[in-house]
Structure 1
Amino acid sequence: MNDVLTMYSYPPCGTCRKAKKWLDEHHISYQIINIAEQPPSRAVLAQIIKKSGAPIGKFLNTSGKHYREGDYKNKRKNASEEQLLEWLEADGMLIKRPLVFDEQKATVGFSEHLFEKEWLEKVKNA
């Protein structure tokens, strides 16, 4: 498996910087897309969510300013998955980051354990 990872990231985000540092330290190739300037389309989001195996609610940046100011905590209670995808597509800052994915799988957020489990094989198979 030698396809390059894609990482939706936000440059000032500390968690994104940690993920970037981890990938760099493990010599894993990736391309970065600024999530604020180019949020993923609804179709791309749906693919990432499916590949991750995580529920769509995990993709909401619940600690973010846009989430709080938009009162999404209350709005999402009765929102359909389609509505959630619409909101995420419209505002990349509502998306938990980083989003990292390749052709087979995807992760949302960063923890060293998660990246070791999901992305370390990129090193082994490179």
Structure 2
Amino acid sequence: MLTLYGIPNCDTVKKARAWLNARGIAYQFHDYKKQGLDESRLRAWVDELGWDALLNRRGTTWRRLPDAVREGIDETTAIQLMLEQPSIIRRPLLDTGESRHLGFSETQYEELLR
């Protein structure tokens, strides 16, 4: 079973969900804001994808952070920040069970889910 991680009001998450639904692809949706995220799962993602790739520097959550936090970010502080404010994790994150994929593009999803 596929799992799509994100927040429901994110436009990119909405596009990914619509794409999956239109093709009848079964998946489970994990809402970071309601369901949270455990540290062991996040650390596994960091090991696989890298903390820098997981950190969404384009969103309002990032822009609202104090300059000192943004400038001093490293793996440890990034993980803590993502656990405290999961909205700062780049989304969606698609977990196929074998691998994890960040963001959404129709081409990427078509190749992954053939």
TM-score (ref. length: structure 2): 0.84
62-71 or 40-49, larger mean C-alpha shift: 40-49
Alignment counterpart, residue 95 of structure 2, candidates 98, 101, 106: 101
Q: Report what 1:33 is aligned to.
A: 30
CA drift of 1:96 comes to 1.1
Deviations 1:50-94 (A, max 9, x none): 44xx3321211212111111136x534443312211110111111
Output the CA distance in 2 between the equivalents of 1:78 and 1:62.
14
Q: 1:104 to 1:76 in 2, by over 3 A?
A: farther
Helix, strand or coil for the counterpart of 2:34?
A: coil
Structure 2 spans left out of the alignment, 5+ residues: none
Per the TM alignment, residue 26 of structure 1 is displaced from its structure 2 partner at its CA by 2.5
TM-score (norm 1): 0.77
Quote the residue 1:61 is aligned against: 56
Q: Which shows bigger deviation, 84-93 or 41-50?
A: 41-50
Aligned-pair RMSD on alpha carbons?
1.9
Structure 1 CA distance, aligned partners of 2:70 and 2:40?
A: 20
Write the distance in 1 (CA, Å) between the matches of 2:60 and 2:111: 30
Count of residue pairs the alignment pairs up: 114
| Consecutive unaligned residues in structure 1, runs of 5 or more | 122-126
Distance 2:107 2:71 in 1: 31
Q: Percent identity?
A: 27
